[in-house]
Amino acid sequence: MNERVLIKDLSALPEGTVTVSGWVDTVRDQKKVQFVVLRDESGAVQIVNPATREIAEDDASSAERVATTEAISGLSQGSFITVTGTLKHDERVKLGGLEVKLATMDVVSHAIPETPIAADSSLDKRMDWRFIDLRQPKQNLVFRIQTTFEHALRQYWIDNDFIEIHTPKLMASASESRAELFEVEYFDTKAYLAQSPQFFKQMAQPAGFGKVFEVGPAFRADPSFTSRHATEFTSIDSEISWIDSHEDVMQLHEDLIVAGFTAVVEKHGDAIRELFGLEVTVPSTPFPRIPLAEAKRIVAERGYEVPRADDDMDPEGERQIAAYVKEEFGHEFVFLTDYASSIRPFYHMRNDEDGSLTKSYDLIFNGVEISTGAQREHRVDVLIEQAKEKGLEPEELEFYLDFFRYGVPPHGGFGMGLARVLMLMLHETSIREVTYLFRGPTRLAP
C-alpha cells in the first residue's frame, strides 16, 4: 500500500504514483471525463478520471473502470475517499498547477447528499454544524494561526525562564465576583468553576517560582450575548515577581504580543492575505500608553461622551480611543492605565500618590479590550482592608491571604482572552468564528 501524501507536499514531488486521502469538495461529472476536487487538512488537488460508462465484452478491466466512473458519479460533497493515481505537473491546471490521474479509489465514508449548511447560512446555524463548517479553508487557517500564536508565546516564556503551571478549575470560593460564578455540585458540598487562575498564579510568587504562565480554560457566568463574550473561554495568563510597577507587566505583555504576531505573519501572512484579504502587521514597541482620564478627555473632544458613571470606558469609548491612536500613532494597540480602585478587584495595588487609582491597565486592540493587567497588592494588611471595601469576607479568603503571611515579593501579571485576540487580528465580527466550539448562555452543544 502506498503511503498517504498530504496535498500540500505534492508540488515538491516528481511525477509518478501517489496516494492522497481527504473529503470531496466538488464533482464535475462530464460525458468523457470526471473531475473531483479533493481536500485534506493541508490543501486541495484536482483528481481526473477518464470516464468509462460501457463495459466491453468479457473485459474485466473496463468493468472496473465503469464501476469507478459510477462511484464518482455517486459521490456527495463531504464524502471521505482515498485515491491512488499518477501525479502530473501541468501549469494549465488552475488548482495548484498539478493533478492526479486516478487509478484506484476507495470510498471510506459516504456523506448524506443534503448538506445542512451553506455559505450563506446564519452564524448560529453554522455553529449547530460546526464540524462541517470547520472544513472551510478559512476556518482551517484560523486554528493553524491559533497554534502558531500560542506556540510563539510559549517559546518566549520558555526562552525567558518562565515556568508553566496548570491551575485547578474547581474552586472552593470566589476569586473575584461571586455573581459571575458557575456553581456545581461537589460531593456533599458546592464548588465553583474558576473565573481565572488569578489566586493560584499569585500563589506561585511566594512559592519562589518567579515567573509563570498558563494557557487554559476559564468560566464566567455572564449572561451576555455580545460578539466578544463567552461563558467558557481560553485565558492566556502570566505573573512575574520583583516588579517595580505595572509598567514592567506592560513591557512583558507587549513583548509577548510582538512575538506572537511575528510568528503568525512569518508563517501565515500569505495565506491570510489570500483567504481573509487583509494584512496582519507586527506592532512596534513600546505600545502607546494613555491614562484613562486623559483617554476620556480625548474621546470627548472627538464628540463622544462616555456615559458610564462607574469610572470605566464603554465599548464605544474603546473604539474611539483606538481610532485616535490609529490616527495619531499608526498603532492598533493602546494601554489604558490608571483605572479607578472602585472598579478594580481588591488585589490590585493602589497608586502611591492617589489611592483612588490603581496600578493597572487594560490593553485595547483594534477598538476592543483584550486584557487586564496590574501590579498586585502583596501587603496582607492592605489586602484585608481592600477586600472589606469590596464587600468580601476575609474569612472566606483565608487560603488566599495565607499566601501573603509567609513572605511574598512584589509581583504583577495579566490575563488575556485568546479568542478576542484572534478575532481582532483577523477582523472577524464574532469570537464564535475563531472558537473551536463556542459556549454561551444558550449554547452547550455540539
**What are the structural domains, with CATH classification, of the chain?**
7-109 (2.40.50.140), 128-434 (3.30.930.10)
**Residue 165 confidence (pLDDT):** 98
Dihedral sign for Cα atoms in the order 83, 85, 89, 90: negative
pTM of the model: 0.94
Residues 6+ apart with CB under 8 A from 255: 156, 285
All three cell numbers of 329? 500613532
Query: For the segment 212-242, what is each residue's pLDDT rounded down to a tens digit?
Result: 999 999 999 989 889 999 999 999 999 999 9
**Residue 386 confidence (pLDDT):** 96
Please enumerate, by residue number, every residue annotated as part of a binding site for L-aspartate. 176, 220, 372, 376
**Residue 192 confidence (pLDDT):** 94
**Residue 2 confidence (pLDDT):** 75
User: DSSP 3-state assignment of 73?
Assistant: helix
**Residue 58 confidence (pLDDT):** 65
**Residue 55 confidence (pLDDT):** 77
**Residue 174 confidence (pLDDT):** 63
404, 206 contact by CB (below 8 A): yes
Residues 6+ apart with CB under 8 A from 108: 21, 80, 81, 82
Query: For the segment 60-81, what is each residue's pLDDT rounded down to a tens digit?
Result: 778 888 999 999 999 999 999 9
**Residue 407 confidence (pLDDT):** 95
**Residue 63 confidence (pLDDT):** 85
User: DSSP 3-state assignment of 357?
Assistant: strand
36, 87 contact by CB (below 8 A): no
**Residue 178 confidence (pLDDT):** 64
Angstrom CA distances, 200 to 175, 246, 259, stand at: 10, 19, 26
**Residue 396 confidence (pLDDT):** 85
Task: For 246-278, give one letter per residue: b (16+ CB within 10 A) or e.
Answer: bbbbbebbbebbbbbbebbbebbeeebeebbee
Radius of gyration over every alpha carbon of the chain, rounded to an integer in angstroms: 28
Question: 105: closest CA among 68, 78, 73?
Answer: 68
Question: Distance (Å, rounded) from C-alpha 435 to C-alpha 446?
Answer: 13
Dihedral pair phi/psi, residue 41, rounded to 5°: -65, -10
Cβ neighbourhood burial of 113 (10 Å; 0-12, 13-18, 19+): exposed
Please enumerate, by residue number, every residue annotated as part of a binding site for ATP. 369, 417-420
> Cβ–Cβ contacts within 10 Å for residue 33, how many?
12
List of the chain residues with pLDDT < 50:
none
Please enumerate, by residue number, every residue annotated as part of a binding site. 176, 220, 369, 372, 376, 417-420
Task: For 204-216, give one letter per residue: b (16+ CB within 10 A) or e.
Answer: bbbeebbbbbbbe
